[in-house]
């Protein structure tokens, strides 16, 4: 009723629409008539838009038929020529491979003004990347990708695919978000050399759906892979691990901080030694203030004695890194 009413209001210029987490799979699964009415109203509303610059339809968890209708409406409306930001993370039902959806591909071909795109990594393949490169070219500024441990993984893009995309869209910065525990090969196959990766965010929590043992991640090798392949572009690195393994991160974290000289943010929530904390702070103090301006270390599993020592380290470096955001604490 709200969307139907809003679509009839004259003289309005809607620039931004956020209707996220509709969660059709759970919330509307057994309400066929209500769901159909909502999808119909949403499609009708979208078709009438002429000025949209931002739309967030993340978390819809919609099936491929209804999802295709929504995307078809978006591709047919006049706002396809004004839209700058499209956020559609978890738009389709879990594990659905969007590149198999003709409406999804057809919609992407219609957009020529997109600057920012946020979607699941499984929505990406060579065809999709080729469409983005050809249709958006230098207009596209950021491609934000989420990789969830509950979704099917596997190498779908090669170094050649990313290199071609980068030639067509040289202004596009790539951001990766990893959710849940994954194997080392799943991390490294997604983080393929050739992409202009400026940000990596890893949240490895045992609470996420997974069937892996912590040691299977081999996270220190993943961090080394990131440092060796993206040191020229990496600006932000965040990692949060709530479990311990026989693969300590200490040396790899120090290596990444040394290798990636363009880092502006370095945020760690993991088990590490106080010696590693001291070394990281020392390296941060040596950086120009305008380079590394956010340093956050949350050290897991510290004893009360070590927590007191961490406070002393914080005090020792506070003056040296006083022009930047600094947070050192136990977690």
pLDDT for 30 equals 56
166 assigned to some structural domain:
no
Q: Give the tokens for residue 281.
A: 């702070």
Q: Which one has a higher pLDDT value, 157 or 228? A: 228
230 assigned to some structural domain:
no
Q: Mean pLDDT over residues 26-52, rounded?
A: 82
Number of domains in the chain: 1
> Sign (positive/negative) of CA torsion 13, 17, 22, 24?
positive
Question: How far apart are the C-alpha atoms of 142 and 161, rounded to whole Å?
Answer: 17
CA-nearest of 276, 266, 210, 284 to 242 is 210
Question: How far apart are the C-alpha atoms of 329 and 314, rounded to whole Å?
Answer: 8
Does residue 94 register a pLDDT over 90? no
Confidence of residue 151 (pLDDT cuts 50, 70, 90): confident
Question: How far apart are the C-alpha atoms of 136 and 11, rounded to whole Å?
Answer: 30
Radius of gyration of the chain (CA): 22
User: Phi, psi at residue 45, to the nearest 5°?
Assistant: -65, -45
Question: How far apart are the C-alpha atoms of 222 and 202, rounded to whole Å?
Answer: 10
pLDDT for 209 equals 61
Residue 257 DSSP symbol = H
**What is the tens place of the pLDDT at every residue in 309-329?**
888 888 888 777 765 677 778
Run of H or E residues at 137: none
Confidence of residue 286 (pLDDT cuts 50, 70, 90): confident
Q: Give the tokens for residue 215.
A: 């040691």
Domain of 8? 1-114
Q: How many CA atoms lie within 13 A of 265 on its CB side?
A: 9
List the 325-330 sheet strands across, edge first: 16-18, 54-56, 85-87, 116-120, 142-148, 173-179, 197-204, 236-241, 265-270, 294-299, 325-330
12 assigned to some structural domain:
yes
Percent of the residues in the chain that have a pLDDT greater than 70, as a whole number: 93
Q: Mean pLDDT over residues 74-95, rounded?
A: 93
250 assigned to some structural domain:
no
42 assigned to some structural domain:
yes
Q: Which one has a higher pLDDT value, 33 or 142? A: 142
174 assigned to some structural domain:
no
Q: Tell the burial category of 309 from Cβ atoms under 10 Å away from its Cβ (0-12, 13-18, 19+).
A: middle
190 assigned to some structural domain:
no
pLDDT for 158 equals 92
Question: How far apart are the C-alpha atoms of 313 and 278, rounded to whole Å?
Answer: 7
Cβ atoms 90, 61 nearer than 8 A: yes
Average pLDDT score over the chain: 89
């Amino acid at each position: 009723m709200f969307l139907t009413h809003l679509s009839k209001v004259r003289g309005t210029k809607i620039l931004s629409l956020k209707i996220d987490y509709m969660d059709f799979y759970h919330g509307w699964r057994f309400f066929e008539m209500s769901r159909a009415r909502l999808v119909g109203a949403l499609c009708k509303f979208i078709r009438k838009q002429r000025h949209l610059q931002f739309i967030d339809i993340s978390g819809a968890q919609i099936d491929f038929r209804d999802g295709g209708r929504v995307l078809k409406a978006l591709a047919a409306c006049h706002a396809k020529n004004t839209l700058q930001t499209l956020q559609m993370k978890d738009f389709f039902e879990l594990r659905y491979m969007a590149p198999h959806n003709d409406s999804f591909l057809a919609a992407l071909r219609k957009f020529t003004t997109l600057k920012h795109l946020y979607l699941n990594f499984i929505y990406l393949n060579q065809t999709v990347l080729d469409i983005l490169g050809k249709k958006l070219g230098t207009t596209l500024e950021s491609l934000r990708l989420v990789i969830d441990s509950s979704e099917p993984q596997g190498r779908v893009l090669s170094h050649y695919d990313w290199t071609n995309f980068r030639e067509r869209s040289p202004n596009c910065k790539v951001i990766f978000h990893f959710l849940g525990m994954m194997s080392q090969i799943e991390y490294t196959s997604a983080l393929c050399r050739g992409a202009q990766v400026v940000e990596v965010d890893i949240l490895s929590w045992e609470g996420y759906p997974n069937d892996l043992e912590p040691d299977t991640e081999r996270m220190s090798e993943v961090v080394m892979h990131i440092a060796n392949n993206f040191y020229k572009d990496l600006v932000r690195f965040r990692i949060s691990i709530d479990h311990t393994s026989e693969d300590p991160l200490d040396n790899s974290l120090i290596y990444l901080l040394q290798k990636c000289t363009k880092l502006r943010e370095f945020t760690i929530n993991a088990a590490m030694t106080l010696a590693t904390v001291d070394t990281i702070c020392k390296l941060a103090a040596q950086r120009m203030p305008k380079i590394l301006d956010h340093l956050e270390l949350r050290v897991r599993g510290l004893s009360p004695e070590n927590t007191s020592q961490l406070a002393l380290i914080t005090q020792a470096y506070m003056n040296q890194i006083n022009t930047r955001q600094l947070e050192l604490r136990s977690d």
